Structure formats: structure tokens, C-alpha cells
A and B are shown apart, each in its own frame.
Chain A
């Protein structure tokens, strides 16, 4: 069996393999910077007990579902009080509850959202707190 134009074909294959795997080589050894959401806002610093409405683990994985539930209950049922699993009550509002503490969108929300390449449309309408607007 004879390979016609072998040189060209093999050279082409090498070029293809190099190009196709380029992203892997390019990023080798480069550890992607882990997202580091900061919770050092003035309001949080003043809290006696630094706790969100639910546990850190829950908020990390389920905050989107929680926000959706908050939205539906506030807009559709006019229920604006949320009682968490510890029995503590919070006023349901993204701007007046969540972002009062987490007033650092850049250093908090955006950290993970950018890392995960998601762009939720919350801030198309809801205002970003002033003190950390950049």
C-alpha cells in the first residue's frame, strides 16, 4: 500500500492535531483563578452573626431557586416575609434585603458568575448598590 502525497497529508494532520489541542496546551499549568466572593461589605462587617438567609452551602448551590421563589411569592402572592430553616424572618426583596448586605456586586456576585460564564439578567432592572458601583 502506498500513501500518495504522504508528506502533505502527514504535515496536514500534524497541523490539525496541534491546532485542535492548542487550547489544552495553552492553558496547561495555568490554574484558573478560583472565584473568591468577598463578604467584607460595611453592612456585613457590622453583623453580629455573619449569616445569610440560609446556610452558605445552600446559598451557594440554590440561591437561584430561592430568588425565583422569592420573586413569585412577592409579585404573585404579596407574601413578603421569608422564614428560614432556623425560624428567622427576612423581608423578601433583592434590592432591599440581598443587596443591602451584598453591596459589592463586583467582588461577590460577579466572581462566580464570571467564572461559570453565566450572565443572569438581575441587574438589567434591579439597581446595583451605589457604594461599590464602578
Chain B
């Protein structure tokens, strides 16, 4: 039993039409279930900002290196951050997780062209953290939008739920501000803070400018612990404390030539003209 070409085309045409009909039926059905979901979501009432939250258009930090005059103050800042954010102390250096850390002047400002920086400042360790760039390369490369720059306050945030651990952001970040959880960090958290989550194996983490504290009206933990050596404020407000310091003091940023526009500024001495 064979069919001729005419018959074959007829059957093929009919089944195509039927097939399209079937597809549209599926679409209709799907549309309905989505409508149902939308109904459910509109039942959920609103979400708001906490009344005590402190807000800014673009958060920024000034690190006043002149005030970092003993090892204690570095430790205080780092411990304040790492203890409340459940940052683990990994036994192997290559697994290290860090939100805020120190490095030498040469490593911090490798392309610095200003020759005559005060010697006593050059010899100090520099306090480093995520620069919360205005033009963050980590955000550009993230394939899942797990990391993003918040339009509302300029903080470069991480949503660990979405992170797939591809580490593109770590390759993109010119400041080494991101750490990857190669192993489960939980056993290495010295003292767990039950009010803040930990992370899991396979996600990237970094400083968040204490977004969870800002909504409660608190300054970032390191700023609070620094006795005035770290200044935090709104870069977008000409009357803010950080802006006033930046216009009156000589300040530098890390690798500005890369165009990421970091939001962390370093005061490295010189005569105050304030």
C-alpha cells in the first residue's frame, strides 16, 4: 500500500494544521494558569522600606589611612565584619574567604604614578574591600544577574540564590574583592551569628556595604568599629560628609584608569586645607 505525492502532502498539511491548533490550546491553558498566579500575587499586599533605614543615591566609603596607626584598628574592622557576616576562616590560603582585608601599598595601587606619597603611609597595610564600583565589571559578566548594582543606592549586591558559581565575576573584578566557596564553609565559621545567613559550597561572596544594617539605620560594621578612620556616606549629596572630605583632602582610588569608578576612596595624608 503506497501513497502518492498528492495524498502525502494532503496528510502532512492536515496534521500541520492540527498540530498548530494543539499548540494554541496549550498556550491558552498556560495563559490561564499564569493569570491565576498573577491573581495570587496581587493578593499579596505591599512591601516597603523600613522607616529607620538610612538611604543614599550612591553609597561610598573613605578610608583615612592616617588614622590606621596600629595593628589593632585593622583587626577591629575586619573582625567586626567577618564575625557578623559568618565569614569562615578557611584553613588553606587558596580557599580564603574575605570581605575586608589588608594588602601592601604596592599591591593596592600597582599603577600609581604619583611618586611622592608620604613614606609612613606607603609602609602601612591598606584596608581593602569591595569598591562597589559605579561601573562594575563583575555585574557585566554575571550570566544569571546574581550580582547586580542596585539603582537605588549604588551598592553592588550578590543574590547567592541565583549564583551558579561560574566565577566570571571573580575574573572580571580587578580588585580581588570576591571569594569563592570551594568547600562547604560551615565547619569553618568560628562563631555563627544566627541573625545572618552563611553561604554554601559553590557560590561567590563579597562585601555588601552592610546592606542588612543600613535598612536598620545602622552604619556598616567596619565603619562603626573604626573609630572614625572609615567614613561612610552619600557620594551623590554635595553636603554629605564624604563629599566634604573628598573636596578638601587629597584622595586616591584603586586602579581608576580601568574606568570602573570605585566608590572607596583613600586619604593618604598631605596637608589638610580644610
Listed in ascending order, the chain A residues whose CB lies under 8 Å from chain B are: 54, 58, 62, 65-66, 69-71, 73, 75-85, 87, 89, 91-92, 94-96, 121, 124-127, 129-130
Residues of A within 8 A of B196 (CB): 95
* Beta-carbon contact of A69 and B44 below 8 Å: yes
> Is B167's CB within 8 Å of the partner chain A?
no
**Docked pose: A54 CA to B161 CA in angstroms:** 24
Which residues from 206 to 258 on chain B have a C-beta closer than 8 Å to any C-beta of chain A?
211, 214-215
* B146, closest chain A residue (CB): A75
* A81, closest chain B residue (CB): B48
**Docked pose: A27 CA to B200 CA in angstroms:** 38
Residues of A within 8 A of B200 (CB): 121, 124-125
Contact partner of A85 (CB less than 8 A), chosen from B44, B53, B161, B197, is: B44
* Beta-carbon contact of A127 and B47 below 8 Å: no
Residues of B within 8 A of A78 (CB): 49, 53, 55, 150, 152-153, 211, 214-215
Most chain B CB within 10 A, of A62, A84, A95, A124, is at A124
Most chain A CB within 10 A, of B46, B47, B53, is at B47
Binary interface profile of B, 27-54, with partner A (CB < 8 Å = 1, else 0)? 0000000000100110111111111010
* Beta-carbon contact of B53 and A83 below 8 Å: no
> Is B110's CB within 8 Å of the partner chain A?
no
* Beta-carbon contact of B195 and A79 below 8 Å: no
Q: On chain B, which size bracket covers the interface? A: 20 to 34
> Is B160's CB within 8 Å of the partner chain A?
yes
* Beta-carbon contact of B43 and A80 below 8 Å: no
Sample of 9 A–B contacts (CB below 8 Å): A71-B159, A76-B157, A76-B159, A78-B152, A83-B45, A83-B47, A96-B195, A124-B200, A127-B192
Residues of A within 8 A of B53 (CB): 78, 80
* Beta-carbon contact of B198 and A127 below 8 Å: yes
* B45, closest chain A residue (CB): A83
Given A83-B45, A95-B194; 17 other pairs, CB 8 A cutoff:
A65-B40, A66-B44, A69-B44, A71-B161, A76-B148, A76-B157, A77-B47, A78-B49, A78-B153, A78-B215, A81-B48, A81-B49, A89-B48, A95-B196, A124-B200, A126-B197, A127-B197
Given A78-B211, A95-B196, also A125-B160 (CB < 8 A): yes
A50 to chain B, nearest CB (A): 20
**Docked pose: A75 CA to B197 CA in angstroms:** 13
> Is B178's CB within 8 Å of the partner chain A?
no
**Docked pose: A80 CA to B53 CA in angstroms:** 9
Residues of B within 8 A of A130 (CB): 194
* Beta-carbon contact of B41 and A69 below 8 Å: yes
Binary interface profile of B, 131-164, with partner A (CB < 8 Å = 1, else 0)? 0000000000000000010101100010111000
**Docked pose: A116 CA to B199 CA in angstroms:** 26
Residues of B within 8 A of A92 (CB): 47
**Docked pose: A66 CA to B37 CA in angstroms:** 12
**Docked pose: A116 CA to B160 CA in angstroms:** 25
Residues of B within 8 A of A75 (CB): 157, 159, 211
